[in-house]
Amino acid sequence: MPLFLWKNVVNLKDVYEKPLLLITFSVLFLVSCGEPPAEVHLSGPTMGTTYNLKYAPTELITPSELQAEINQELININQLMSTYIQDSELSRFNQWNSTEPFPLSAQTIYVMREAKRLGDLSDGILDVTVGPLVNLWGFGPKARPDKIPSAAEIMAARQRVGLQRLEIRENSARKTHPNLYVDLSTIAKGYGVDQMADILEKHNIHDYLVEVGGEMRLSGRKSNGQPWRVAIEKPLTKERAVERIISVGNNAIATSGDYRNYYEDAGVRYSHLINPNTGAPINHNLVSVTVVAPSSMTADGLATALNVMGKEKALLLSEKYDLAVLLITKEKEGFKEYTSAMFDKLVTIH
């Protein structure tokens, strides 16, 4: 009998007191019951959730040394990119009410560049400047609003939103609107996964599973020679069930869904996923998107973007750019799956 270790992140609590990542990413992984796993298992708090790391034993570095290195890197990422740490590098950039360039670290610049690239690829749907709208609807640092935002309030917030207002240079970034607000939470967690994987690779560890709050990156095989298996959660609001069990090879996997992080007002459901083109929460029937890609940061951002744009546009974009994608829609008769050609080619379904 397999044991399911669920990793669901909703309204994540930052280890520094408040939530950092607000997107719901629900993925779970499997380990065997009975005999203790042969892999080394490390875990700890980070980015408002937890990380888990399993890898084949090695004599090149002790588990305590490896964990200390990983903890330090994750603390560093949080200190650079958290919007809830008031003196983080990103918070200081957001507080910089000027159109003059603001010096930034190489890591923050790197993540911003990928955010811009994914924003362009998705025709602006993935927009890391959408924070004013997220906050307006009550899914950011501020609590749920006393009343649903008015059209005028939405219009005012949209004036501060737009990737075209963010210019990235070699060692700095510049806002063309002084009050532009950048939130990297849609890809920062995935970046943390990639950094953990890079640390393992640096120490010649090539058989591993890395997970932060549901985002994963996998390489090689388990110590028993079997492939790593990942279970994708069925998008149910009040239950836990498995939709698919898959193997993804040496790749990352991220799932975005809107079926847990939402609220209702006067019988209307408001999702935490905001469409920057409308300034309002999504209202279509695409409820879960899973993306498989070499980089967890990329998979993380793409899963969010595809979920926001809806089934038809998501499928078109997936085929256009050869993305490995599994979409789940909620129909009258139940859930329905759609997969891209690359997903069918790359992923093994168990």
| CA distance linking residue 301 with residue 255, whole number of Å | 10
- pLDDT tens sequence across 319-332: 999 999 999 999 98
Amino acid at 161: V
**pLDDT confidence of residue 257:** 83
Dihedral in degrees, nearest 10, Cα atoms 43, 245, 195, 58: 60
Does residue 223 or residue 217 have the better pLDDT?
A: 217
Residues 92-147: tens digit of each pLDDT: 999 999 999 999 999 999 999 999 999 999 999 999 999 889 888 888 766 677 78
Greater model confidence, 157 or 19: 157
Residue 9: the pLDDT is 29
Helix and strand numbers, DSSP H then E, in the chain? 9, 20
Range with lowest mean pLDDT among 19-28, 55-64, 313-322 = 19-28
Residue 6 has pLDDT above 80, yes or no: no
Q: How far apart are CA 231 and CA 197, in angstroms?
A: 20
197 half-sphere exposure, CB direction, 13 A CA radius: 26
279-327: pLDDT as tens digits: 888 888 899 999 999 999 999 999 999 999 999 999 999 999 999 999 9
- Residue 258 sits at φ, ψ, to 5 deg, of -115, 20
Q: Which tokens sit at 227?
A: 């492939």
| 141-162 per-position pLDDT tens digit | 666 777 888 999 999 999 889 9
How far apart are alpha carbons 260 and 242 in whole angstroms?
A: 16
* 33-55: burial string, b at 16+ Cβ within 10 Å, e else: eeeeeebbebeeebbbbbbbbbb
Q: Which helix (H) or strand (E) holds 191?
A: helix 185-202
Here the tokens at position 6 are 């669920």
pLDDT at 35: 58
pLDDT at residue 259, as a whole number: 63
* Residue that the structure tokens 């209307």 belong to: 268
Quick one: 15 exposed, middle or buried, by C-beta within 10 A (0-12, 13-18, 19+)? buried
- Sort strands 242-247 and 348-349 into parallel, antiparallel or unpaired: antiparallel
Superfamily the domain 1-350 falls into? ApbE-like domains (3.10.520.10)
Give 255's strand partners: 290
Q: Under a CB-based contact definition with an 8 Å cutoff, are residues 156 and 191 in contact?
A: no
Task: For residue 347, name the pLDDT band (cuts at 50, 70, 90).
Answer: very high
